[in-house]
């Protein structure tokens, strides 16, 4: 497939790299591609980032048939640009597509198009410590139609956003709260896809957690409300008796690329790793027996996010004295070093761009 590039005449001014937040600023250009039943995916183009004009009846607005991804491009010390495991994100996007009745994309073509977009926008990849260019590929259903069925037409687009360091002043362990009032996803549902509705389903519990002074919700399984699933937009890991334990992928948990990377690294260090069901009761029992030494989340945004406090009904526990533990620290350092080119990429996770 051909990829056309139309450049903007007047470029935006670049932001102060030391004041970048998350997801508020967007680069000059974006990637767009359309799907129609008779043409398949077509009209792949890089063009100025601009608002879409869509009919108010467009299906994405009504039935949420859409999917997205989140990954980053990093600037190395010698000025190169590279991505971390983008193939894994594109593969997961196609998995999500399958579950949402969205036609699959050609992963190899999408990767090349993304690399070309990054080359066009290279000046937007920041170089201040911990900063990166966040990449948001998205697919939306575009038929203007109010009947309930899968759309016949789609738009695939990629936007880019320079983002600041997640930990500008070092780790700040988060306080998380188990909810039993709400569930995020159920067995047989779409919890294992990156789709808009999962986030809509999580908002109210998130607001209640904030009101109670907690940063994120720790979700339990939607069937028995007994087993730990994940936290906010991160997977969750525990260190119990020196073993790294995380909930097994059961169809309602999002299969995180960072989760997978964390498990692979820990195994490569000779650490015991187990993917299994873990109940919230077991977590509290391990804590009272002094066997639980760390809890942390994993995700693209933060890499690793230590949990300092966990609340479940009327019980509140402090983990690692509210500080970052050695396993979380080592994983964060190693993955960040690979992402920014400071450590050798022994596991083949780096995709060079420029």
Ligand X SMILES: *Cc1c(COP(=O)(O)O)cnc(C)c1O
Residues that bind ligand X (CB under 6 A): 70, 194, 230, 233-235, 254, 256-259, 298-300
Under a CB-based contact definition with an 8 Å cutoff, are residues 278 and 238 in contact?
Answer: yes
- Of 131 and 298, nearer to ligand X (C-beta) is 298
Closest distance of CB 179 from ligand X, Å: 14
Distance in angstroms (rounded) separating the CA atoms of residues 92 and 51: 26
CB of 232 to ligand X, least distance (A): 7
What angle do the packed helices 257-268 and 86-99 form, to 10 degrees? 130
- Residue whose CB is less far from ligand X, 240 or 263: 263
Residue closer to ligand X by CB (options 58, 235) is: 235
In the complex with ligand X, which residue's Cβ is closer, 28 or 230? 230
| Residues 84, 350 contacting (CB under 8 angstroms) | yes
Task: Using the CB atoms, write b or e for 49-62: b if 16+ within 10 Å.
Answer: beeeeeeeebbbee
CB of 257 to ligand X, least distance (A): 4
- Residue 88 Cβ vs ligand X, minimum distance, rounded to whole Å: 7
Cα-based distances in Å from 83 to 70, 105, 134, 193, 258: 12, 19, 10, 22, 13
- Counting DSSP H helices and E strands in the chain, the numbers are 7, 18
Give the separation between CA 96 and CA 81, rounded to whole angstroms: 27
Nearer to ligand X, 230 or 309 (CB): 230
Q: Closer to ligand X at the Cβ: 46 or 254?
A: 254
Q: How far is the CB of 234 from ligand X (least distance, A)?
A: 5
- Cα separation of 225 and 253, whole Å? 14
Q: Closest separation between CB of residue 152 and ligand X, Å?
A: 27
**Number of Cα atoms under 13 Å in the Cβ half of residue 170:** 3
CB of 249 to ligand X, least distance (A): 11
Query: How distant is the alpha carbon of residue 100 from its chain centre?
Result: 18
Our CB check for ligand X shows the closer of 206 and 256 to be 256
């Amino acid at each position: 497939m051909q990829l056309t590039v139309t450049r903007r005449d007047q470029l935006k001014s670049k932001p102060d790299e030391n004041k970048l937040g998350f997801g508020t600023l967007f680069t000059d250009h974006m990637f767009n591609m359309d799907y129609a039943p008779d043409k398949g995916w077509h009209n792949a183009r890089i063009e100025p980032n601009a608002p879409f004009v869509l009919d108010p009846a467009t299906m994405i607005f009504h039935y949420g048939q859409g999917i997205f991804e989140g990954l980053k491009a990093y600037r190395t010390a010698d000025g190169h640009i590279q991505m971390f495991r983008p193939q894994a994100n594109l593969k997961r996007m196609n998995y999500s597509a399958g579950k949402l009745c969205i036609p699959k994309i050609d992963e190899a073509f999408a990767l090349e198009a993304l690399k070309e977009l990054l080359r066009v926008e290279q000046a937007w990849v920041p170089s201040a410590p911990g900063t990166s260019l966040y990449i948001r590929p998205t697919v939306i259903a575009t038929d203007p139609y109010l009947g309930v069925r899968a759309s016949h037409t789609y738009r695939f687009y990629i936007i880019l956003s320079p983002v600041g360091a997640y930990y500008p002043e070092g780790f700040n362990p988060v306080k998380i709260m188990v909810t039993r009032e709400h569930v995020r996803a159920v067995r047989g549902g779409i919890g294992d896809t990156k789709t808009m509705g999962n986030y809509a389903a999580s908002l109210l519990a998130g607001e209640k957690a904030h009101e109670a002074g907690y940063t994120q919700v720790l979700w339990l399984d939607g069937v028995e409300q007994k087993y730990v699933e994940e936290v906010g937009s991160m997977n969750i890991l525990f260190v119990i008796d020196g073993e790294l334990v995380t909930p097994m992928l059961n169809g309602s948990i999002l299969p995180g690329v960072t989760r997978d990377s964390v498990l692979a690294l820990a195994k490569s260090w000779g650490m015991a790793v187990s993917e299994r069901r873990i109940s919230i009761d077991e977590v509290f029992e391990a804590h009272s027996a002094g066997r639980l030494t760390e809890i942390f989340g994993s995700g693209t945004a933060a890499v690793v996010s230590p949990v300092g406090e966990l609340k479940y009904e009327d019980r509140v526990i402090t983990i690692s004295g509210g500080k970052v533990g050695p396993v979380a620290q080592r994983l964060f350092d190693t993955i960040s070093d690979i992402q920014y080119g400071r450590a050798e990429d022994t596991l083949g996770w780096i995709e060079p761009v420029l």
